[in-house]
Amino acid sequence: VSKLFKYFHYEDLFHTGYQRELTYKRRSGSYSIFGKSDSEGSMMLTAFVVRSFARARKYVFVDEDEIKHSIQWFRRKQKPSGCFPKYGKVFDKSLQGGLNSELTITAYVTIALLEAGFNKKTRMVSKALSCVTDNLTHIQDSYTTSLVTYTLVLADHPKSGLMISRLKNKAVSSEDGLIFWSARNDKLVATEEPTDYFAEKLRPADVEMTGYALMSYLKRNEQPKDIMKIVKWLSKQRNYYGGFSSTQ
């Protein structure tokens, strides 16, 4: 009985969250923190909602037309190059994680499309992947590396192996031998400062990029011992309630 109660309780929470999210939807199919009263939708928030709805439909009814409406907005905003522009406002900068460039926005939208069930050969996804792969040589930071790697691994792209190698090169080992990724690593390497990741608390973005790295490792069937080191590091970042400080 208790398990049944918990099931219906969580289902009710999913349904409430789904309905509340729809209040932020604009007529264009995009989403904004101000909903219809905003002058424009947000590319990042719309992709986030599409990802959330795509995952939630395993547990609660999600109107597929809602997802399709947002996909149509993506299609209208996509550039001839295949890239998706930084569009709309997000006032809480922590919500954006490392989504601060056209490349990372494009990778994030591509992930949303793939997780929503789009085939990598569809025109919109194929063009987006071309945008991403055309800019691989410009990638320097750990966040973009982890995000783009997961994008290409998820799409089973031929260049995913190259990005996995670059991802591994940016991995950091903790004092207890665990594996994670940190934006601080980029700064320390650039300035040649002594590497001390433990003098201050790691940022939520570090948890996010390590999460992307973990998903890439899992899909690529990397060494189980390395996967466990990442999992253990992530588990140590949980807060008192069992969750994580979130960028999204």
Which structure tokens are listed for 138?
Answer: 């410009």
DSSP 172: E
How far apart are alpha carbons 47 and 108 in whole angstroms? 7
CB 181 within 8 A of CB 213: yes
What is the distance of C-alpha 239 from the center of its chain? 20
CB 49 within 8 A of CB 31: yes
Which structure tokens are listed for 86?
Answer: 């930084």
- pLDDT tens over the chain, length 248 residues: 455 445 455 677 777 888 888 988 999 999 988 777 777 889 999 999 999 999 988 888 899 999 999 999 999 999 999 999 988 765 445 444 556 689 999 999 999 999 999 999 999 999 999 999 999 999 999 999 999 999 999 999 999 999 999 999 999 998 899 999 998 777 554 444 444 444 445 578 899 999 999 999 999 999 999 999 999 999 998 876 666 665 55
Which structure tokens are listed for 130?
Answer: 């071309």
Question: SS3 of 218, please?
Answer: helix
- CATH architecture entry for 122-247: Alpha/alpha barrel (1.50)
Closest CA to 38 of 84, 87, 72: 87
